[in-house]
């Protein structure tokens, strides 16, 4: 990593800014409109008991890192009782903490400590499907045909003379048919049940009143524990087209780029979110709902965040966009435009636990999608990732950070087959199945694996970490002004302090050379922030617009930083304050 001089003389004090503003955020109305939200993947964040698997006491002990980073809120991927067929997205008991992650008391202790540090807690809710070990589903199988519990899922007789063919042609997102045949209590082959994901994840039937009642109760349960909101898993999947009509194709459904289908993005889902919004609004302190809705267009995404529905939805069009100026500008414009009529903030996200980390996506040629198994040009990937993050944090709305991206972590693309756990890896012709690569436990300190992830040097971690991660640990990067961690800390602190940044819809594009994006944001008080991104492979010389605030890479030595011109190197973003 090289020096980016702006951090040495940045005009804000990162530590003081973060602490003040975080305390402020805890009181502020509409806090979610410009929040920076950090995703913790509990399996891989911090392992307090040394069993190789992250846990809630581990997260709790590491909360000061998140406070120092300056984020507003933490979204925790599922930690509920689960057989872990899909890393916790197969929930067996929605009100219990899985013993591998701790206890309910650990969860409430974590919420309390986070609040004391000015951090909000958002938990994951998985309403599209349960685990096949959920009590309802077990009883539905045990009680056989005619059990009222079967009405809570989608059980159907098969087609063909002996019901030997699935009820329709739907394919699972993870590959293979979306139906599994059951065996009746007498041992004979029985009905089939629907699972849009793994067979261990049977889909709920949301037409059934008991399902809706149960989830209202689950929402209240966690709201009563003090959570500040929910990230709603597969929010676009709960309602299926009446009659479960054939798709007419045997292409596996991909989450990303999913067009209109009878299984996803049906208009009926919105009544559910209107109801949930009323529940969220009953509680003090602006509790929020965030939709994981993979819709074909930003306009369809906007339906989930109408004023009486959820607060935010992930912007997957942005996540899927390649590192190309025109494409990015288009997706930024479309995203902002789509949210205007509904008055919701746009969100920006580059990485999460389902896609190859952006440092690796941008290290490879564009067009490979979001599941990549090649490391590519790592140096280039990191350089672009830093530039992309600085761009993201300058955009109007709320931004999501996936654990480890603040360390510049790449995906681990060479995990041996025998350690892989992603269920889609084992099911032919589905989603490509390389999600384990972004789920490797993150490095905190020391020179020996698991690099402070667990308490003991040489101790276990559920996925092996690469040796070079010693240099990427929080400890190794802290205090190094050239590090990615310090870049994130500075950028988030600056974002809090600069009145033009954050939620306001105030972006104005400026003319710029081909391959360069440049925009300004003007605050009500007249302050202006200029962000310029050079996405080309060559340096560009531009008129110096103001006082340099931050840059994702050192500005070229021959570019006088306070002179009339600045040389912005390849794949670099810079922020300037104008007033």
Q: Which positions touch ligand GLC (CB under 6 A)?
A: 86, 89, 126, 197, 233-234, 255, 292, 353-354
Give the nearest distance from C-beta 231 to ligand GLC in angstroms. 9
Per-residue tokens: 152: 């809570």
Which C-beta is closer to ligand GLC: that of 44 or that of 572?
A: 44
d(CA 333, CA 311): 20
Q: Residue 262: which of 243, 277, 232, 241 has the closest Cα?
A: 241
d(CA 496, CA 35): 10
Per-residue tokens: 415: 């995990």
d(CA 368, CA 329): 20
From the list 98, 233, 422, 486, the catalytic residue is 233
From the list 30, 213, 282, 448, the catalytic residue is 282
Per-residue tokens: 287: 């509790």
Give the nearest distance from C-beta 128 to ligand GLC in angstroms. 7
406 is known as an active-site residue? no
Per-residue tokens: 219: 């929402």
Give the nearest distance from C-beta 172 to ligand GLC in angstroms. 10
Which C-beta is closer to ligand GLC: that of 21 or that of 234?
A: 234
Per-residue tokens: 150: 């079967």
Which C-beta is closer to ligand GLC: that of 86 or that of 228?
A: 86
Tokens 């000061």 belong to residue: 64
d(CA 534, CA 101): 43
Tokens 């045909």 belong to residue: 145
282 is known as an active-site residue? yes
Neighbours of 464 (CB within 10 A): 15
Give the nearest distance from C-beta 318 to ligand GLC in angstroms. 16
Is the peptide bond between 475 and the residue preceding it cis, with omega within 30 degrees of 0?
no
Which C-beta is closer to ligand GLC: that of 128 or that of 477?
A: 128
Q: Tell me the β-bridge partners of 543.
A: 565
Neighbours of 104 (CB within 10 A): 12
Which C-beta is closer to ligand GLC: that of 91 or that of 302?
A: 91
Question: In what side-by-side order are the strands of the sheet with 547-551?
Answer: 507-509, 516-522, 528-534, 572-577, 547-551
For the chain, give the number of residues: 579
Which C-beta is closer to ligand GLC: that of 197 or that of 323?
A: 197
Which C-beta is closer to ligand GLC: that of 48 or that of 412?
A: 412
Work out the burial of residue 12: count CB atoms within 10 Å of its CB; fewer than 13 is exposed, 13-18 middle, 19 or more buried. Answer: middle
Give the nearest distance from C-beta 264 to ligand GLC in angstroms. 11
d(CA 233, CA 41): 14
d(CA 79, CA 58): 12
Give the nearest distance from C-beta 267 to ligand GLC in angstroms. 21
Give the nearest distance from C-beta 525 to ligand GLC in angstroms. 40
117 touches 19 (CB < 8 A): no
Question: How many secondary structure helices (H) and strands (E) does the chain include?
Answer: 16, 20
Give the nearest distance from C-beta 93 to ligand GLC in angstroms. 16
Which C-beta is closer to ligand GLC: that of 412 or that of 485?
A: 412
Neighbours of 237 (CB within 10 A): 27
d(CA 65, CA 208): 43
Catalytic machinery residues? 233, 282
């Amino acid at each position: 990593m090289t020096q980016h001089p702006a951090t040495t003389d940045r005009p804000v004090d990162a530590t003081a800014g973060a602490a003040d503003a975080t305390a402020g955020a805890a009181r502020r109305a509409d806090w979610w409109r410009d929040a920076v939200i950090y995703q913790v993947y509990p399996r891989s964040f911090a392992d307090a008991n040394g069993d190789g698997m992250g846990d809630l006491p581990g997260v709790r002990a590491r909360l000061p890192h998140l406070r120092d980073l300056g984020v507003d809120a933490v979204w925790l991927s599922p930690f509920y009782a689960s057989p872990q067929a899909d890393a916790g997205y197969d929930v067996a008991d929605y009100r219990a903490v899985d013993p591998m992650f701790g206890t309910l008391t650990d969860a409430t202790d974590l919420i309390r400590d986070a609040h004391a540090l000015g951090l909000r807690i958002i938990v994951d809710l998985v309403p599209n499907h349960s685990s096949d070990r959920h009590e309802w589903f077990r009883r539905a199988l045990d009680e056989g045909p005619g059990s009222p519990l079967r009405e809570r899922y989608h059980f159907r007789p098969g087609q063909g003379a002996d019901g030997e063919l699935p009820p329709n042609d739907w394919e699972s997102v993870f590959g293979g048919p979306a139906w599994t045949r059951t065996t009746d209590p007498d041992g004979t082959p029985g009905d089939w049940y629907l699972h849009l994901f793994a067979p261990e994840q049977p889909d709920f039937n949301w037409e059934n009143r008991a399902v809706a009642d149960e989830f209202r109760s689950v929402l209240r349960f966690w709201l009563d524990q003090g959570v500040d909101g929910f990230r709603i898993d597969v929010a676009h999947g709960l309602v299926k087209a009446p009659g479960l009509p054939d798709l007419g194709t045997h292409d596996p459904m991909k989450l990303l780029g999913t067009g209109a289908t009878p299984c996803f993005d049906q208009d009926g889902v919105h009544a559910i979110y209107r109801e949930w919004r009323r529940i969220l609004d009953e509680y003090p302190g602006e509790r929020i709902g965030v939709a994981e809705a993979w819709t074909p267009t930003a306009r369809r995404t906007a339906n989930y965040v109408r004023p009486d529905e959820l607060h935010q939805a992930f912007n997957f069009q942005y996540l899927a966009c390649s590192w190309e100026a025109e494409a990015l500008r288009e997706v930024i414009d479309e995203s902002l435009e789509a949210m205007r009529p509904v008055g919701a903030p746009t969100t920006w996200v580059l990485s999460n636990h389902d896609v190859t980390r952006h440092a690796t996506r941008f290290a490879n040629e564009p067009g490979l999608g979001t599941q990549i198994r090649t490391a590519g040009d790592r140096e280039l990937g990191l350089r672009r990732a830093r530039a992309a993050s600085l761009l993201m944090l300058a955009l109007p709305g709320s931004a999501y950070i996936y654990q480890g991206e603040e360390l510049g972590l790449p995906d681990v693309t060479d995990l041996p087959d025998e350690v892989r756990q992603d269920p889609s890896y084992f099911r032919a012709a589905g989603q490509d199945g390389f999600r384990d690569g972004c789920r490797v436990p993150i490095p905190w300190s020391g020179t020996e694996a698991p690099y402070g992830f667990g308490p003991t040097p040489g101790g276990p971690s559920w996925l092996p970490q690469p040796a070079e991660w010693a240099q990427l640990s929080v400890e190794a990067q802290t205090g190094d002004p050239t590090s990615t961690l310090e870049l994130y800390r500075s950028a988030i602190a600056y974002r809090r302090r600069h009145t033009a940044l954050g939620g306001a819809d105030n972006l104005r594009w400026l003319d710029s050379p081909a391959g360069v994006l440049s925009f300004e944001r003007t605050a009500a008080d007249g302050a202006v922030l200029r962000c310029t991104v050079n996405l080309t492979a060559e340096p560009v010389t531009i008129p110096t617009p103001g006082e340099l605030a931050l840059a994702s890479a050192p500005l070229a030595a021959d570019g006088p930083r306070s002179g009339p011109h600045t040389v912005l190197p390849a794949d670099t973003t810079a922020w300037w304050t104008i007033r």
